[in-house]
Amino acid sequence: MAPVPPSDPRRLSSATPLPGSSIQAPQALGRPLPAGVARAAAGWFALLQSGQASAADRARWQRWLDEDADHGRAWAHLQAVTGALTGLNAGGAGYRGLSAAPRAARRRLLGLFAGLGTAAGAGWLASRTPQWQQMAADYSTGTQRRRWSLPDGTDMLLGPGSAVALQFDGSERRLRLLAGEALFTTGHPAGALGDLPFVVETAHGRVRALGTRFMVRSSHAGARVAVFERAVELRTAGTGATARRLQAGEAMDFTRTDWGTVQPAGPADDAWSRGQLWVDNQRLDDFLAELNRYRPGWLHADPAVAGLRFSGVFPLDEGGIDGTDAVLAMLPGALPVQLRWRTRWWVVVEPAQVRG
């Protein structure tokens, strides 16, 4: 029988120890988490990855996820430390066979909230999770964008599937963009913080704000910076790289070792901050991968149509499955494709059938 999460996770005491752990305060993304929320998140994760979840189960999970920020943080933590894709990937790495032992799966998942509290949990984490470093994130999102005011007054808006770690010390105000994208409007605090450089660090290099509003996006392939006010200074992670400056209205792609060319910063660069997805001559499979950040579930392009290209602007508002369903419904009008819905959370885009 499929594991059933508690109907009201808030009824579980936050002081209740987790099974198999001597730690009374579970952690999620580097911060304490109520034990009841950890239990509920582990139950939902095991159920949804087991293949036994019904449509009603998924609807209840979505309501649970949206009702409290701690629920979203717990879910993002499990995704980060298991290396699962953003949303619900039915074939998620490290979770094949969960349905055979859902209770054991829940126990293992609960161990991941205990940091290094149990050797078994830590060992399983180390062997299964190449993205375990995202546990260090202080701010993260699921399928919706979120806004925060940082300790220095900087306004930070994160896109879906994004994570940031904060490190303010005596030498600089530094943030590490672990995944996704962020839009910053830097603050001007009085006192010691106001004299410290504001730096956003990615795997490919560093971006220093020069009193500005700017966007940074990071992926495995590279990073992109777009400046909307004043200027930033860029340095790649390559040894001895010379700094470059971008002015308002300019954008640039770069990697650890290579600079791109300076381009105009356009509305497409921060379209996500306005709830829009801009497509400019993009491959269909790349478009679906981007759209999948805004919804739970799995989107896939049949190889026969994966290379089709198109352009457009798609409204997403705050994301979620309803908004992305509407975007998917537009595709057959723009391309010779049809949608095959295995479930509402499993969609394949394939060639349109030719009618005689």
Per-residue pLDDT of the chain (356 residues; tens, 9 = 90+): 333 343 333 333 333 333 433 334 677 655 678 888 888 888 888 787 766 778 888 888 888 887 777 887 787 777 655 543 333 333 333 333 333 345 556 666 666 675 433 333 333 333 333 343 345 578 888 888 999 998 888 999 999 888 898 888 778 899 999 889 999 999 776 555 667 899 999 989 999 999 899 999 998 889 999 999 999 999 998 756 688 999 999 999 999 888 999 999 989 999 999 989 999 999 999 999 899 888 877 889 999 999 999 999 988 865 567 788 989 999 999 999 999 998 778 899 999 986 65
- What's the angle, vertex CA 192, arms to CA 191 and CA 193, rounded to 5? 95
CB distance 107 to 114 below 8 Å: no
Q: Where are the domains of the chain?
A: 9-135, 139-264, 275-351
Torsions phi, psi of 179, nearest 5? -165, 150
214 three-class SS: strand
Q: Which residue has the tokens 């126990």?
A: 107
Torsions phi, psi of 132, nearest 5? -60, -25
Assigned CATH topology for domain 139-264: Jelly Rolls (2.60.120)
Question: What count of other Cβ atoms lies within 10 Å of the Cβ of residue 248?
Answer: 15
Range 275-351 has CATH code 3.30.70.580:
no
Distance linking the first and last C-alpha atoms of the chain: 47
Q: Which residue has the tokens 């479930």?
A: 343
Cα 301 to chain centroid, rounded: 21
Q: What is the largest CA-CA distance in the chain?
A: 75
Q: Per the confidence metrics, is the pTM higher than 0.85?
A: no
CB distance 257 to 238 below 8 Å: yes
Q: Could you tell me where the DSSP H helices lie in 176-319? A: 284-291
Q: What is the DSSP letter of 355?
A: P
